[in-house]
Chain A
Amino acid sequence: DAGVIQSPRHEVTEMGQEVTLRCKPISGHNSLFWYRQTMMRGLELLIYFNNNVPIDDSGMPEDRFSAKMPNASFSTLKIQPSEPRDSAVYFCASSLALGEQYFGPGTRLTVT
């Protein structure tokens, strides 16, 4: 299995631009998670889906962030408009229900 796939690996954008991060979970996994990691706050859960349905988005910082999972093999996290404080590494992870979560390689986002 290829594991969780994320793209792009690196993204540099200017403040105010729209950013879209993409994730392909491990085939057969039914839960998908989006995390953000910073030095100050560590690894924070933003939102998670179960069977393509958003279950908990209480970690999404504000309305500028949105996530979708149109099918079992694809999810996006969108930031519009982006701000410098959004700079972080964003991880996608997938799992079978209540099982261990497997993480992708992450997208390093820099907003200037």
Chain B
Amino acid sequence: EDQVTQSPEALRLQEGESSSLNCSYTVSGLRGLFWYRQDPGKGPEFLFTLYSAGEEKEKERLKATLTKKESFLHITAPKPEDSATYLCAAYQGGSEKLVFGKGTKLTVNP
């Protein structure tokens, strides 16, 4: 069964304290690994798409990387405004169905 598992469930950081979020996946024929950010009361906001192992993408303080079994979202020198729930998702083989992880709730304290 295709699965996406995120860890940790919650992470508290001090402003400026860098860290990484993990997303492990077991999806046959991966055709895209997606990262989203979700703020309370809002819909998930698209951040990155990764297609192949070794690929990296960056946006401001965020960098997403992909291996054959997992993806990492690295957060460098985070600020309080980076506080949100970060979701990863992968296309289920042979369909347009995105399988989502349950997310990591990130809190950055000033």
Contact = CB atoms under 8 A, between A and B. Distances in A.
B42 interface: yes
B31 A98 contact: yes
Contact of A45 (B31, B49, B97, B103): B97
Contact of B101 (A42, A45, A56, A97): A42
B42 A45 contact: no
Interface SS, B side: loop
Interface string B67-99: 000000000000000000001000100011110
Measured as residues with beta carbon below 8 angstroms from the partner, the interface class of chain B is: 20 to 34
Given A103-B44, A103-B45, A106-B43, A42 B96 contact: no
Interface residues of A, number: 22
Contacts of A97: 96
A101 B42 CA distance: 15
